[in-house]
């Protein structure tokens, strides 16, 4: 028996030796700012960390929910969810994964210094029932808790406490925290080396629990991530075979990349919707020549601005067909999407002029459009085009395009009359968009925090409150009703959902994901 | 001599103070670090807590005084973006920038001086005309365009040199050097040429005009009359006399190369201080920006001081001129 065992070990060792290194050299414009899983809720951080850390619940290539570190979950009572944990899971440094780590991780994400509040905001506390069972008690019934927990990574309590990292980085601290450059997850890859802004190397974790699941068919043994900020250089590095995979190739180079030998462009939608929002609260606009009244409070003016936009022209010429034109708040990947409500007001200049005349602005008016110029795909060009389209119906819009720093600072002071925003939906549920963008701002967590036009409609607020607690078909009906109200009230002018092309070398297959996150567990190098 | 140094250092202090004041005042316009740090989801209370933590609710001069007090002790705080000590970040990036700047300056001198001598001596040869045309390109094309053209030619078409990064580096204590590996040297070539091209053409044109000037002087004519060889005249006498202004300019330009490495570093993803600065601007990372600007001001002030001291040592007229209402 012992001899047989030894032989088996030998064969296994040989196989490991024979398996060749399959490396993917991956680049993006930005580097993750930290390796702490609860510190910064930003795509560039998550795209690396989700290779290293697991959440209780995983996502499949269609972004549906799958068992992760939890094998089963149930809403036992309206405010109590029970999670059954996967047995025999170990962290990269050897600690066994238990319910105590779940309690620790959720408590950590709840700290004020965490950027992940949105995913745990309804949680009151987590309770370890036994080593492989956890109860999560919510303050109010939360029907979409599993969707949110798919974004909360699990850390080891003993490792974090040993390294003084029991809570995410505090800005008042003067010293660097251990977790800024070190990781210890349960995931498919471990962090092998990290030089911030230069190179991050991940190595396959052969002991990952997920390799037992047939869907996780990836064969990558090593990932070398390198940030390249300059668009032209990133493309050049791909063309010159120094990089295999670019997650954010510039749109203007796509045609060239499609025709390049040995490269493929993976096309796909992103869960991010670009829209214009308007100040519908003030009695007089901050940036307009209309005195004594606010033209944007008149629904006819909002509709006129909407009718005047030739979205197909933007789609064709500025987005080069890389956008999904929309008339609603979020794309179809989001829970609650309704095709019947995804209808635009048609492009109609005559109608726009008629509406303006009807509203008492036959000669139009002046207004300033605030735009970012480095946050969304072609953001400044989109705004330029809209300004020109409005000019044709008499709206004299001035474009104020800024880098994202000043732009966000300005709109967050409510210092705007009209602005363009792109909104992603990490929970993939309608509530996130409605709550942040359209709820009346009342100081409560999440309500209206990105509603800088200060749209406020009691009917909408009531629907949003219902979305927070309802379940099943009733909830879908509520969302549909809210989407109908959104179309009717025109607090925004929706433009399109972004498309996010990825460019990859021909010998690599990797599923394109609408959350713009690569999952190397499914990447195959031939 | 001692009093001269002391007076120059005393003059440098207000310069540093003004630079720090101006740069600190500028930060009010680069954006709100709080908006960037909070991300997409936050409450008003979290926002206010963060503003308080960062001390951004204090009046401007209180913030500035705190900053200056800490800066004098070499304490620049924690980067908002990277949650790491600023001094450590800059120390980590300095070797990359310094190696790039020194290599660029070296290339500029080693190629610029001979080209200048040649064009000065053989004004009408076709090669001189070619050099002069070429120098126009170096002066007029923007750095990022030169960088992209070099990448396109040598990385994409020919595949000889890497298009980005620093290659493999060797650690020598806290210093990381790319000089000791083949990939490090290969990675250095394109960025160094990009950064040095402007200085190269500047030095070439300077040497050329100085040579033409010197060759017309009497002592060169006498040297020819004495029958000295061309080589001795051109290099032993003429070039030697042109080098004084060239060395001055080259020294002063070194500060400029370090400061203007920002564009080159961005194009080539060169992990130096300039790239760190650009990324910090994008994130309104005030501690890093402030420290970088102070450091660049210090580099310029120091180089100026050294140049002044060299003048003082080299040029006797300066010593005579002092105290006579000069």
Asked if A405 and B282 come within 8 Å (Cβ–Cβ), the reply is yes
Q: How far is A316 from chain B (nearest CA, A)?
A: 28
Domain that holds residue B104: 87-325
For residue B28, the model assigns a pLDDT of: 64
The tens digit of pLDDT for each residue in B223-251 reads 888 888 888 888 777 887 777 777 777 77
Average pLDDT of the segment spanning B273-284: 85
| Residue B195 and residue B135 share a domain | yes
CATH of the domain at B206: 1.10.3720.10
User: For chain A, what is the mean pLDDT?
Assistant: 90
Domain count, chain B: 2
Closest by Cβ to B44, choosing from A112, A174, A443: A443
Q: Does A459 touch chain B if contact means CB atoms closer than 8 Å?
A: no
The tens digit of pLDDT for each residue in A497-525 reads 999 899 999 999 999 998 889 999 999 99
> How would you write A141-208 as a 3-class SS string?
CCCCHHHHHCCCECCCHHHHHHCCCCCCCCCCCCCCCHHHCCCCCCCCEEEEEEECCCEEEEEECCCC
For residue A431, the model assigns a pLDDT of: 92
In a domain, B155, yes or no: yes
Q: Does B272 touch chain A if contact means CB atoms closer than 8 Å?
A: no
Asked if B37 and A171 come within 8 Å (Cβ–Cβ), the reply is yes
Of A247, A360, A354, A350, nearest to A295 by C-alpha is: A360
The answer on pLDDT for A42 being more than 80 is no
Q: How far is B72 from chain A (nearest CA, A)?
A: 17
Q: Using a CB-CB distance cutoff of 8 angstroms, which residues of chain B are in contact with residue A405? A: 30-32, 35-36, 281-284
| Residue B291 and residue B157 share a domain | yes
Of A138, A124, A173, A178, nearest to A156 by C-alpha is: A178
| Residue B295 and residue B154 share a domain | yes
Q: Using a CB-CB distance cutoff of 8 angstroms, which residues of chain B are in contact with residue A446? A: 41, 43
Burial of A395 (0-12, 13-18, 19+ CB in 10 A): buried
Interface mutation target, options A409, A414, A444, A445, chain B, most CBs of B under 10 Å: A409
Asked if A406 and B54 come within 8 Å (Cβ–Cβ), the reply is no
CB A87 within 8 A of CB A132: yes
For residue B324, the model assigns a pLDDT of: 45
| Residue B256 and residue B133 share a domain | yes
Buried-state track A185-221, b at ≥16 Cβ within 10 A, e below 16: bbbbbbbeebbbbbbbbbbbbeebbbeeeeebebebb
For residue A182, the model assigns a pLDDT of: 93
For residue B326, the model assigns a pLDDT of: 41
Backbone angles phi, psi at A353, to 5 degrees: -65, -40
**Measured distance CA(A356)–CA(A304) in Å, rounded:** 6
| Residue B11 and residue B107 share a domain | no
CA distances to A175, A198, B89 from B83, rounded to whole Å, are 8, 17, 10
For residue B317, the model assigns a pLDDT of: 64
User: Could you tell me if the ipTM is greater than 0.90?
Assistant: no
CB B26 within 8 A of CB B18: no
Query: Which pTM does this prediction carry?
Result: 0.82
Domain-ending residue, one of B18, B40, B72: B72
The residues with which A325 forms a beta bridge, in sequence order, are A496
User: For chain B, what is the mean pLDDT?
Assistant: 82
The tens digit of pLDDT for each residue in A109-148 reads 988 777 787 788 889 999 999 999 999 999 988 888 999 9
| Residue B43 and residue B143 share a domain | no
Q: In which band, very low, low, confident or very high, does the pLDDT at A409 lie, cut at 50, 70 and 90? A: confident
**Measured distance CA(A155)–CA(A100) in Å, rounded:** 10
The tens digit of pLDDT for each residue in B147-197 reads 999 999 999 999 899 999 898 888 888 888 888 888 899 999 999 999 999
| Residue B119 and residue B20 share a domain | no
Strands A222-227 and A23-28: parallel
Q: In which band, very low, low, confident or very high, does the pLDDT at B138 lie, cut at 50, 70 and 90? A: confident
Q: Using a CB-CB distance cutoff of 8 angstroms, which residues of chain A are in contact with residue B169? A: none
Q: In which band, very low, low, confident or very high, does the pLDDT at A11 lie, cut at 50, 70 and 90? A: low
Q: Is B142 helix (H, G, I), strand (E, B) or coil?
A: coil
In a domain, B82, yes or no: no
Interface mutation target, options B97, B163, B288, chain A, most CBs of A under 10 Å: B163
The tens digit of pLDDT for each residue in A201-211 reads 999 999 999 99
The tens digit of pLDDT for each residue in A243-254 reads 999 998 987 788
Average pLDDT of the segment spanning B53-63: 78
Asked if A171 and B46 come within 8 Å (Cβ–Cβ), the reply is no
Those of residues 250-269 in A touching chain B at CB distance below 8 A are none
For residue B141, the model assigns a pLDDT of: 85
**Measured distance CA(A480)–CA(A339) in Å, rounded:** 10
More confident residue, B251 or A290: A290
Q: In which band, very low, low, confident or very high, does the pLDDT at A40 lie, cut at 50, 70 and 90? A: confident
Q: How far is A44 from chain B (nearest CA, A)?
A: 12
In a domain, B79, yes or no: no
| Residue B294 and residue B146 share a domain | yes
Asked if B155 and A237 come within 8 Å (Cβ–Cβ), the reply is yes
Those of residues 31-60 in B touching chain A at CB distance below 8 A are 31-32, 35-46, 49-50, 53-54
CB B35 within 8 A of CB A408: yes
The tens digit of pLDDT for each residue in A348-383 reads 999 999 999 999 999 999 999 999 887 888 899 999
In a domain, B80, yes or no: no
Q: In which band, very low, low, confident or very high, does the pLDDT at B211 lie, cut at 50, 70 and 90? A: confident
Domain-ending residue, one of B26, B46, B72: B72
């Amino acid at each position: 028996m012992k001899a047989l065992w030894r032989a088996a070990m030998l064969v296994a060792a040989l196989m490991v030796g024979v398996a060749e290194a399959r490396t993917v050299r991956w680049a993006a414009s930005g580097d993750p700012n930290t390796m702490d899983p609860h510190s910064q809720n930003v795509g560039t951080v998550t795209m690396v960390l989700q290779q290293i850390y697991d959440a209780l619940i995983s996502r499949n290539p269609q972004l549906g929910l799958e068992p992760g570190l939890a094998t089963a979950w149930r809403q036992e009572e309206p405010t109590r969810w029970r999670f059954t944990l996967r047995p025999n899971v170990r962290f990269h440094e050897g600690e066994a994964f238990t319910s105590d780590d779940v309690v620790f991780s959720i408590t950590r994400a709840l700290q004020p210094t965490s950027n992940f509040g949105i995913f745990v905001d309804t949680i009151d506390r987590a309770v370890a029932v036994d080593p492989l069972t956890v109860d999560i008690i919510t303050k109010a019934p939360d029907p979409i808790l599993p969707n949110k927990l798919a974004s909360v990574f699990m850390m080891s309590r003993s490792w974090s406490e040993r390294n003084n990292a029991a809570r995410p980085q505090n800005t008042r601290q003067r010293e660097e925290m251990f977790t800024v450059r070190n990781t210890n997850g349960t995931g498919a890859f471990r962090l092998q080396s990290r030089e911030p802004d230069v190179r991050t190397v991940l190595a396959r974790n052969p002991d990952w629990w997920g390799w037992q699941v047939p869907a996780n068919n990836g064969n990558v043994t090593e990932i070398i991530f390198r940030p390249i900020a300059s668009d032209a250089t990133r493309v050049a590095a791909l063309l010159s075979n120094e990089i295999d995979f670019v997650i954010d190739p510039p749109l203007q180079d796509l045609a060239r990349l499609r025709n390049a030998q040995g490269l493929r462009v993976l096309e796909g939608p992103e869960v991010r919707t670009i829209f214009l929002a308007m100040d519908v609260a003030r009695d007089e606009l901050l940036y307009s020549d209309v005195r004594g009244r606010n033209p944007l409070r008149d629904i006819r003016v909002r509709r006129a601005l909407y009718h005047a936009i030739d979205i197909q022209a933007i789609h064709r010429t500025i987005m080069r067909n890389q956008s999904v034109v929309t008339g609603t708040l979020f794309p179809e990947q989001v829970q609650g999407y309704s095709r019947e409500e995804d209808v635009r007001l048609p492009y109609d200049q005559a109608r726009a002029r008629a509406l303006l005349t009807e509203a008492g602005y036959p000669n139009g008016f002046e207004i300033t459009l605030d735009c970012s110029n480095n946050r969304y795909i072609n953001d400044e060009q989109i705004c330029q085009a809209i300004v020109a389209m409005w000019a044709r119906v008499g709206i004299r819009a001035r474009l104020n395009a800024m880098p994202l720093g000043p732009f966000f600072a300005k709109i967050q002071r409510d210092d705007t009359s009209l602005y363009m925003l792109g909104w992603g939906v990490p929970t993939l549920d309608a509530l996130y968009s409605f709550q942040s963008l359209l709820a009346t701002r009342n100081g409560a967590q999440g309500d209206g925090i990105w509603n800088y036009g200060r749209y406020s409609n009691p009917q909408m607020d009531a629907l949003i409150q219902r979305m927070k607690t309802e379940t099943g078909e009733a909830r879908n009906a509520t969302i549909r009703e809210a989407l109908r109200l959104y179309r009717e009230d025109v607090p925004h002018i929706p433009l399109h959902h972004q498309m996010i092309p990825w460019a990859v070398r021909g010998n690599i297959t990797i599923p394109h994901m609408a959350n713009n996150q690569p999952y190397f567990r499914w990447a195959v190098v031939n | 001599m001692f009093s001269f140094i002391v007076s120059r250092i005393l003059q440098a202090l207000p310069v540093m103070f003004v630079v720090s004041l101006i740069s600190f005042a500028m930060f009010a316009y680069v954006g709100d670090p709080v908006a960037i740090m909070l991300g997409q989801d936050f409450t008003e209370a979290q926002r206010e807590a963060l503003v308080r933590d960062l001390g951004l609710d204090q009046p401007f001069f209180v913030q500035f005084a705190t900053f200056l007090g800490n800066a004098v002790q070499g304490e620049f705080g924690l980067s908002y973006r990277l949650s790491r000590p600023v001094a450590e970040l800059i120390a980590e990036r300095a070797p990359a920038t310094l190696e790039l700047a020194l290599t660029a300056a070296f290339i500029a001198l080693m190629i610029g001086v001979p080209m200048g001598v040649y064009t000065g001596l053989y004004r009408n040869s076709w090669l001189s005309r070619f050099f002069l045309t070429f120098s126009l390109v170096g002066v007029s094309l923007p750095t990022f365009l030169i960088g992209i053209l070099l990448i396109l030619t040598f990385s994409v078409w020919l595949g000889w040199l890497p298009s980005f990064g620093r290659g493999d580096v060797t650690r020598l204590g806290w210093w990381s050097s790319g000089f000791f590996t083949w990939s490090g040297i290969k990675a250095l070539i394109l960025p160094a040429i990009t950064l040095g091209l402007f200085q190269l053409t500047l030095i070439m044109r300077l040497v050329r005009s100085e040579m033409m000037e010197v060759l017309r002087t009497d002592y060169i004519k006498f040297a020819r009359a004495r029958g000295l060889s061309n080589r001795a005249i051109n290099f032993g006498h003429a070039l030697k006399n042109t080098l004084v202004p060239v060395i001055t300019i080259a020294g002063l330009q070194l500060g400029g190369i370090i400061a203007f490495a920002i564009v080159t570093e961005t194009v080539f993803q060169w992990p130096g201080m300039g790239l760190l600065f650009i990324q910090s601007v994008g994130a309104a990372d005030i501690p890093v920006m402030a420290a970088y600007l102070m450091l660049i001001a210090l580099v310029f002030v120091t180089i100026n001081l050294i140049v002044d001291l060299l003048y003082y040592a080299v040029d006797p007229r300066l010593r005579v001129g002092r105290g006579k209402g000069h």
